[in-house]
Structure 1
Amino acid sequence: MTGIHPAFHPLFDGSGIDGGLYTDITRDAQRAPWLLNDTVATWSAFGLALFAALMLTGWWRARRSDSPMMARALATPLVVAVVYGVDVVLKSLVREERPCRSLPGSFTLEACPAPHDWSFPSNHAVIAFAAATALWLVDRRLGAVAVTAAVAMAASRVWVGVHYPHDVAAGALMGIALAVPLTVGATRATPWVERAREGRLRPFLLTAA
């Protein structure tokens, strides 16, 4: 006798929430110029690398800031990692099937993720908005760039056909809601940063200018 573990079965079908909107958006994508679709698909697949670059830039710029801001800058990757971990747990609990599997005939620019790669909330949106929120609390200019990029990332995940709109909206809200207290709380590491700025790590934490 064979069977499938209950954890491998979807629990939630999100098509009743905004499946119609998802279909409208992906239909527009199907009719869009190839150059637009190639650009969006490339951004959707590789755009998270920009957030890594922005976090690195945030650390570099924080060398000219006070110790609390440096503490936040250093904590930004950890904040994103923690938020992503919470997202993974939530995904495994909700177990929402991908729209490209739930809705017959769905058009996708990106291959539909494998079964049991759940849809809610969007990993990309969670990571992008957590990074953008943390960066906003470190450096407003970098934060503005990151927020714009996060919105573009969330929209791209629906456009390529792998998420419902509510998946990316929930991911955005989750990223913001968790990143704010975590980033603000990182200022508790200020004493450590101040001590490190007086030691061998000084060149990495404080600019001479």
Structure 2
Amino acid sequence: MEEKIIQALILIIPLLMAVTLHEVAHGYAAWMFGDPTAKLAGRLTLNPVRHLDPFGSLILPGLLIFSGSPAIFGYAKPVPVNFRNLRDPKLGTIVVSAAGVGVNFACALAAGLVYQIIAPFAGDSTIFLLAARLVYGFCIISVVLGVFNLLPIPPLDGSHILSALLPPGARQKYEQIGTFGVLILLVLLMTRSLDFLITAVISPLVRFFTGG
């Protein structure tokens, strides 16, 4: 049980960091394209408390960890974006939506490099071992967030990218499933219907970043 709690902390702490960076990236991208909504709301901050969603940041990942799910996923409160303020609504929507994913993959690369540096010392020091586990966890979480957010399921980023690319009629019909998006994603995760992403995409990317 003690190891389970340690494992949960090693995953939840990096998760809070990853979702915070993810949301801040969205806000900065929107600001660069002319929408100051997130900045005015005080959401361009690395303070995770400002971004926490009780269910998405704590309850959902906790349920997945203790249920033995191979994929640990979570989310923060979306930063407010007024897409009508964007100088180029179509391109801006795509860039803003992709910004969080891009930052997650950049974090995975950085974490993987740090892990490769400190992993050889993990057997000689408890501190290095804990640091290696935290960094490895951050790499995994960053890859998972990056990959899962590309799924075209509302409200994930992939759905906004796809919506921006669809013609108006198809876009309107597609966006109608948004109300059920979180429920659809939760069911897919809990029933392990997305396990193929772990074996085909996530695991190879983690091995690549960490030199495994």
Query: TM over 0.5, yes or no?
Result: no
TM-score w.r.t. length of structure 2: 0.29
TM-score w.r.t. length of structure 1: 0.29
